Homo-oligomer: A and B are copies of this chain.
Amino acid sequence: MYRTNTCGELRLSHVGQAVTLAGWVQRTRKMGGMTFVDLRDRYGITQLVFDESRDAELTAQANKLGREYCIQAVGTVSERSNKNPNMPTGDIEIIVTGLTMLSTSDTPPFTIEDNTDGGDELRMKYRYLDLRRAAVRKNLELRHRMTILVRNFLDSRDFIEVETPILVGSTPEGARDFVVPSRMNPGQFYALPQSPQTLKQLLMVSGFDRYFQIAKCFRDEDLRADRQPEFTQIDCEMSFVHQDDVLEVFEDMARYLFKEVRGVELPAKLRQMTWAEAMRLYGSDKPDLRFGMTFVEVMDVMKKGKFSVFDDAAYIGGICAPGCASYTRKQLDQLTEFVKRPQVGAKGLVYVKYNEDGTVKSSVDKFYSEEDLLELKAAMGAKDGDLVLLLSGDNANKTRVQLCALRLEMGERLGLRDDNKFECLWIVDFPLFEWSDEEQRLMATHHPFTMPNPDDIPLLDEHPEQVRAVAYDFVCNGIEVGGGSLRIHDGALQEKMFKILGFTPERAMAQFGFLINAFKYGAPPHGGLAFGLDRFVSIMAGLDSIRDCIAFPKNNSGRDVMLDAPSELEPGQLEELNLKVTL
């Protein structure tokens, strides 16, 4: 080894010890005849001291060190006269007696500090330098720790990690597949898996009973903010289970992770909320429960034949923002602008201020009497000093989604979305299908293998849109961290699902024949779920973006700007693959 110790481990107890350290020059300071060098490695920073009066030549060498030079230093651990209580190694320094240059460094394109001066593109281009920053490195260390914890937890519960292949068959349902031309099978293509869904179901047919995999998944989607073309799932499946069995195991896992990683105790049993209730109270299938302001529907109260916008609405609902009656005109205008942004899409916003002095002021004063608004106050549970914000619209759930955006915005403004608070719950009873405006047909809300609620199976033929799925999402702080379902294990029911989803029997067979066939050989009841690892880590790390818990992420065009990938192939490669690019 080039070192006897790391730059994070030396303490007062090591004083007098001869040591060798290796690392990077964080900074150098010259003070009189002394030169101080902060030497950094993954484990910390240790101060090196060069004393001109003791060794002029060595100190001259030290004075030539630049930022990010990689060096090796030999010396003796010494107690600092001027201790730094902010550093674990702040009680000691190294009196250097020997210095070896391992590599010099050009001036880095941005500072290697927690608060760097590097912009996003530059940091990504030089990601290998960005990763030197402790703030980024800690996220990857946390990711490593979480995967170790997840694996050991699941192993202790008899789950087996099974690697499923990356080169699989194309199943162009749901998102687009990335495909891989096969040279050995000319004209044919593999696909990269969008998830190991069907393969893990086959493992259940195989009797594997309790499977997991920390698995790379791939989706060729137009990238919205914070999506990656490749991402990682904690993918799990169990046999012989009911919904509660699955929820229990993974609630335990979440409880274990939050405790180990963040020291946070989740409740002994997580709340379960139906999808319908979540939509009704929060306008979202991933409600943020760190704060209240649940929706109140006020159709009866506000439909009085006085205000045509409300009279014609299919939904009128609102939230009560505590203590916000003092909002200024400007603040209220900002909120109106906020809901009218295309991303939210509301036509307008009605506000009612219930002032501390008992007076009421609203944007609909000319339509409603004070009595009307006091009736609203009671319905909303508002107190003096509160602000009631109402939205309405001709599609109940679309309006609820707009109101959700407003609720989250108010939570943000009121500082109620605390990164260090974790509110987890299960959303259950999702609808099995959802209508696609784009495709003009019913689509599977999750995927075609989801088990319908047994009580609703009679509705499948006439009212499929009313059928609930045995599906569940794990939600934390308004983010969907995981989700899953019980699966169909009956071939006939699976064929019926394919039919409702518009598959011809031939197409279903061509794409999912292996699964339909497998179900002929004693398929067990099974179900499972998958957590988004990138998302889970970023919540634990308090990150806004998943990018900083991924070592080498891609940008919004799906490019790795460091590797400069993707790129054009050499003509010979295309020829070997029997392909021609047609631009």
Contacts and interface: CB of A to CB of B under 8 A. Distances in A.
B108 A564 contact: no
Interface of A: 1-3, 22-25, 40-43, 68-70, 72, 102-106, 108, 126-129, 131-132, 137, 140-141, 143-144, 147-148, 151-152, 155, 160-170, 172, 176-192, 199, 202-203, 205-209, 216, 218, 220, 222-223, 229-230, 232, 239-242, 245, 489-490, 513-514, 518-525, 550-552, 554, 557-560, 562-570, 573, 576-583
Given A180-B178, A554-B167, A573-B172, A148 B155 contact: yes
Q: Is the interface of A mostly helix, strand, loop or mixed?
A: loop
B103 A70 contact: no
Contacts of A570: 172
B207 A167 contact: no
| Of A41, A181, A199, A229, most B-chain CB atoms within 10 Å | A181
A16 to B, nearest CB: 24
Contact of A131 (B170, B206, B222, B560): B206
Contact of A220 (B183, B565, B579): B183
Contact of A128 (B3, B68, B72, B202): B202
B186 A583 contact: yes
A230 B166 contact: yes
Nearest to A182: B566
A125 to B, nearest CB: 9
A3 B582 contact: no
A251 B241 CA distance: 43
B206 A132 contact: yes
Given A166-B192, A170-B567, 20 more contacts: A25-B522, A42-B208, A131-B208, A137-B207, A140-B162, A143-B162, A144-B155, A144-B162, A147-B161, A163-B216, A167-B230, A167-B554, A167-B558, A169-B567, A170-B569, A176-B576, A186-B583, A187-B568, A216-B216, A514-B564
A207 B8 CA distance: 13
Contacts of A223: 184
| Of A164, A185, A223, most B-chain CB atoms within 10 Å | A185
A192 B216 contact: no
Contacts of A490: 103
A188 B558 CA distance: 11
A68 B205 CA distance: 10
A189 B203 CA distance: 32
Contacts of A165: 230, 551-552, 554, 560
Given A103-B519, A489-B103, A566-B169, A131 B184 contact: no
A161 B185 contact: no
A566 B189 contact: yes
| Of A106, A137, A144, A187, most B-chain CB atoms within 10 Å | A144
Contact of A206 (B103, B129, B557, B573): B129
Contacts of A239: 22
A187 B574 CA distance: 11
A240 B521 contact: no
Contact of A518 (B128, B166, B513): B128
Nearest to A513: B564
A169 B170 CA distance: 22
Given A220-B183, A564-B169, A522 B105 contact: yes
Contact of A203 (B126, B185, B551, B579): B551
Contacts of A25: 522
Contacts of A42: 207-209
Contact of A520 (B106, B167, B552): B106
A61 B450 CA distance: 30
A4 to B, nearest CB: 11
